[in-house]
Amino acid sequence: MASLNAGPEYYLAEEKYREAVTYDEKTAALREMLKQCPKHKAAHSILNEIKSKIARLKKQHEKEEAKRRARGGRGDFLRRQGAAQVAVVGFPNAGKSFLVNALSNASFASTPAPFETLEAAPAMMEHKKVQIQLVDTPSAHAGNQSLVFGLARNADLALIVSGSGQKGEKEFFAKMRVKKELRVAKGKWDAEKLKEKIYDALGLVRVFTKPNRGKPDYDKPIVLFKGGCTVADAAREVHKDFARNLECGRVWGSTRFPGQQVGPDYELRDDDVLELKLK
């Protein structure tokens, strides 16, 4: 981005965009980036990309809103925010909302009354400087099986809270097909240990970037999934132009010696520090 020669206002807006969660926050940050981006020839591709992102966000938002209205304001899909999405599912009185509150800053109603959660609600959990979206789902029962299964299937991980004492609980979740699942028993978990289990079950890989001759940024890691965590994948997360012009990388952590030069296909590991070299 050095050739962009933008002012601090642009990079501040870019940072807000990376941290944005909601549609309104992302759109506002992108519009500020568009406003602050230089209008010279070298910035032409960046300007077009920002406009494309705004258009894609609007189209996606309108599509989701249409689906929500068609279902009377309730639905079985929540767009993933953060590095990954975890659907917290369970029978009535399993303690799903209490668990979500303990893992995040949410304050969802958590009482012994069954069916307190009437529709899916997102919350954000942070662990190892990684933002993970938790989805508190409606209590599972025979009448909403497709809803609960849809939310779990859409997520990167289904966190099943068992031990509600309800008949048919085991058989119900045996039929659920998801990408990955993690099971915890009602009331038998520690918040910090469970965060670590969720992080491990997701198979996340944090990569900390550093500029040439600069210091690593340990506050905002690039987050990748195992199986898609090469140097080229990391470059793509930074910017698609970086991936297109990538020559090699230098890695501190998983390599034989610090700062070893590696190719675009080198598979990164959690806690690696990466310096990208462009053509």
Within 10 A of 69 (CB to CB), how many other CB atoms are there?
10
CA separation for the pair 45, 29 (Å, rounded): 18
Is the per-residue pLDDT at 189 higher than 70?
A: yes
**Rounded CA separation 216/61 (Å):** 35
The answer, as to whether pTM is greater than 0.85, is no
What is the overall mean pLDDT for the chain? 87
Taking residues 7-16, what's their average pLDDT? 87
The reported pLDDT for the residue numbered 65 is 67
Q: Do 186 and 95 meet the contact criterion of CB atoms below 8 Å apart? A: yes
Q: Reply yes or no on whether the pLDDT at 164 is more than 80.
A: no
Q: What is the pLDDT of residues 195-240, one digit of tens each?
A: 999 999 999 999 999 988 889 989 989 999 998 899 999 999 888 8
The 10s digit of each residue's pLDDT in 50-80 is: 999 999 888 887 776 666 555 444 445 678 8
**pLDDT for the residue numbered 69:** 56
pLDDT digits (tens, 9 = 90+) for 30-43: 999 999 888 888 78
**Domain residue spans of the chain:** 2-70, 84-202, 204-278
* Displacement of CA 235 from its chain's centroid (Å): 17
Q: DSSP state, 257?
A: S
So what's the pLDDT on residue 1? Answer: 39
CATH of the domain spanning 204-278: 3.10.20.30
How far is residue 244 from each of residues 71, 124, 208, 241, 247, measured CA to CA in Å?
41, 32, 20, 5, 9
Regarding the domain with residue range 84-202, which homologous superfamily does it belong to in the CATH classification? Answer: P-loop containing nucleotide triphosphate hydrolases (3.40.50.300)
Q: Express as a percent the part of the chain with pLDDT over 90.
A: 49
How far lies 70's CA from each of 36, 155, 214, 224, in Å? 38, 22, 51, 34
Q: Quick one: average pLDDT of 70-91? A: 76
Of 145, 131, 136, 146, nearest in space to 88 by CA: 136
